[in-house]
Amino acid sequence: MSVQEYLDKHALSRKIEDAVNAAVRAKTPDPVLFISNHMKKSVPSMITKVKARQILDSRGIPTVEVDLYTNKGMFRASAPSGASSGMYEAIELRDGDKGTYLGNGVSRAVRNVNEKISEALIGMDPTLQSQIDQAMIDLDRTEKKSELGANAILAVSMAACKAGAAEKEVPLYKHIAVLSGNTNLSLPIPAFTLISGGKYAANFLPVKQIMILPIGARQFEEALQMGSETYHHLKAVISKKYGTDGCSVGEDGGFAPSITSIREGLDLVKEAIGRTGYSEKLKIAIDVDATEFCIGTKYDLDFKSPNKSDQNFKSGEDMINIYKELCSDYPIVSIEDPFDKEDWEHAKHFSNLGICQVVGDDLLMSNTKRIERAVEESACNALLLKVNQIGTVTEAIENVKLAKDAHWGVVISQRSGETEDAFIADLCVGLAVSQIKAGAPCRGERLAKYNQLLRIEEDLGDQAVYVGDDWRLS
């Protein structure tokens, strides 16, 4: 027996003796269970195993799921995925074999977790999130996580965060709050998708989404009720005007009636809101996703129309005037990606008008350098954060801090390819961000996030604070 083995053996013997003595003092009716629990608490937790697999996301496309094991048990997380990826965001690793899942398989990313990341993380303390994330970044050694894959790294990072919360015996959102140094927890405004368009729906609506924000709700539970009721009223409105075929839905659950203009969609939403009795409590947000229909320096609002005349091209100045008119005619308080991702000049001009919240998605791509540039140039006043675009929990926290230091709003967002993992719900509360964008109040992968926020609000009890009217200030 080596010296170390001798010391380990006797250290274990002392821990067993301490556990037995504690059980005797406690006069517990179940000494075996007591001793077992006492032993678990006395042994420092560490990552003992990391196992990944390929699963399917909400679009039926492969993604990475990870089971991370510690002394406390097993903790599972899965990486979301977008329909498109930008040149400035972290890279998800796909196999490229067209004969399997049309090239979308993630077996290489899974293998990287099982063979490389696992080896690097075994023995690490799951409560040390930044060290775990940095270990994976160092192992990858690329700027965009292209060696191991952002999908592999993120799934492990999220699973480790859940394990860290369990080790501290606190809810995930409280663990995230501690990691970020945040002491003020709050429930975010949900941005419910009601109508889907752009490339995400089979209609002729050029913009990506029309959403509602239940700003006038007093708690999240009430906000969810407002969203659900409005969604069902809208279904009735659409069914009457377009038939039941108009009630088909896009990838995130929004209805996709055969409409051709932004105003047509806004009128439908406005009518649905009018039926709810919540007119003073609901506001409208739109995600333009203008990069998708920008050609050179012009914007083609007919890009989806089969009979387009090429006469509906708009300049950046034209788009600003359109947005001004829409905000005047409808209760629009937030516009996401009103211009192309490289159209910084018009973005700055529009943002400085102060008409509404201007959210940067494609403009920023959750990229730290682009966020810093946008802050410096006042190109928007809110960050849309997608965790898979940055790749680790630690970096997501840092980017939220960057936005908050600039007095921006923060929207933590779903992806078109989602899973049942509700991680971003806890992330929103832990970081006290002002808004969550998780899709329509339907479809399981979307409702997983909203339902988790219900549980968190219940868990917080009297301490629960819903952002509500202060959503631009949080």
| Per-domain residue ranges of the chain | 47-169, 189-470
Question: Mean pLDDT over residues 312-320, rounded?
Answer: 93
Supply the pLDDT for residue 21: 75
> Contact, 224 vs 212, CB < 8 A?
no
pLDDT in tens, 272-301: 999 999 999 999 999 999 999 999 999 999
**Residue 15: pLDDT band by 50, 70, 90 thresholds?**
low
pLDDT at 79 over 90: yes
Which one, of 5, 32, 6, lies nearest residue 19 by Cα?
32
Q: How many CB atoms lie within 10 A of CB 388?
A: 24
pLDDT > 70 fraction of the chain, expressed in percent and rounded:
92
Residues annotated in a binding site for Mg(2+): 289, 336, 361
pLDDT at 201 over 90: no
Return the minimum-mean-pLDDT range out of 129-133, 218-222, 244-248: 244-248
pLDDT at 39 over 70: no
- What span, in angstroms and rounded, lies between the C-alpha atoms of 148 and 112? 6
> Contact, 339 vs 57, CB < 8 A?
no
Using alpha carbons only, what angle is made at residue 294 by residues 289 and 295, rounded to the nearest 5 degrees? 165
pLDDT in tens, 381-437: 999 999 999 999 999 999 999 999 999 999 999 999 999 999 999 999 999 999 999
Helices (H), 207-330: 220-242, 262-276, 316-329
Highest mean pLDDT among 7-21, 84-98, 144-158: 144-158
The CA radius of gyration of the chain, in Å to the nearest whole number, is: 24
Q: How far is CA 319 from the centre of its chain?
A: 28
**Residue 260: pLDDT band by 50, 70, 90 thresholds?**
confident
- What span, in angstroms and rounded, lies between the C-alpha atoms of 247 and 205? 14
Active site residue: 252, 287, 337, 343, which one? 252
Supply the pLDDT for residue 6: 44
Tokens of 423: 């991680």
pLDDT at 329 over 60: yes
- What span, in angstroms and rounded, lies between the C-alpha atoms of 182 and 406? 16
- What span, in angstroms and rounded, lies between the C-alpha atoms of 199 and 351? 25
pLDDT at 174 over 80: yes
386 annotated active-site: yes
Supply the pLDDT for residue 11: 53
Supply the pLDDT for residue 3: 43
pLDDT at 238 over 90: yes
Residue linked to tokens 């979308």: 104
Q: How many CB atoms lie within 10 A of CB 321?
A: 11
Supply the pLDDT for residue 275: 96
> Contact, 399 vs 366, CB < 8 A?
yes
Supply the pLDDT for residue 7: 44
Quick one: 378 exposed, middle or buried, by C-beta within 10 A (0-12, 13-18, 19+)?
A: middle
User: What's the half-sphere exposure (Cβ side, CA atoms, 13 Å) at 274?
Assistant: 8
- What span, in angstroms and rounded, lies between the C-alpha atoms of 371 and 363? 9
Q: By 3-state DSSP, what share of the chain in percent is helix, strand and coil, each rounded to 5?
A: 50, 15, 35
241 annotated active-site: no
Q: Is 187 helix (H, G, I), strand (E, B) or coil?
A: strand
- What span, in angstroms and rounded, lies between the C-alpha atoms of 272 and 278? 10
Tokens of 14: 């002392």
**Residue 12: pLDDT band by 50, 70, 90 thresholds?**
low
Supply the pLDDT for residue 88: 87
Supply the pLDDT for residue 200: 76
Which one, of 333, 373, 377, lies nearest residue 352 by Cα?
377
Tokens of 255: 């209805």
Amino acid, single-letter form, for residue 21: N
Question: Mean pLDDT over residues 47-72, rounded?
Answer: 97
Question: Mean pLDDT over residues 231-235, rounded?
Answer: 97
Q: Is 454 helix (H, G, I), strand (E, B) or coil?
A: helix
Q: Is 54 helix (H, G, I), strand (E, B) or coil?
A: strand
**Residue 250: pLDDT band by 50, 70, 90 thresholds?**
confident
Active site residue: 174, 281, 283, 386, which one? 386
- Per the prediction, the chain carries an average pLDDT of 92
Tokens of 115: 């063979």
Phi, psi of 145 (to 5 degrees): 60, 35
- What span, in angstroms and rounded, lies between the C-alpha atoms of 366 and 375? 13
pLDDT in tens, 345-371: 999 999 999 999 999 999 999 999 999
What's the CATH architecture for 47-169? 2-Layer Sandwich (3.30)
Q: Is 222 helix (H, G, I), strand (E, B) or coil?
A: helix
C-alpha distances in Å from residue 122, one per residue of 71, 113, 149: 12, 12, 19
Tokens of 133: 């994330």
Question: Mean pLDDT over residues 440-468, rounded?
Answer: 96
Q: Is 319 helix (H, G, I), strand (E, B) or coil?
A: helix
- What span, in angstroms and rounded, lies between the C-alpha atoms of 156 and 143? 18
Spelled out in words, what is the top-level CATH class assigned to the domain 189-470?
alpha beta
**Residue 27: pLDDT band by 50, 70, 90 thresholds?**
confident
- What span, in angstroms and rounded, lies between the C-alpha atoms of 31 and 130? 38
- What span, in angstroms and rounded, lies between the C-alpha atoms of 160 and 72? 12
- What span, in angstroms and rounded, lies between the C-alpha atoms of 437 and 434? 10
Supply the pLDDT for residue 461: 96
Which one, of 132, 114, 14, lies nearest residue 54 by Cα?
114
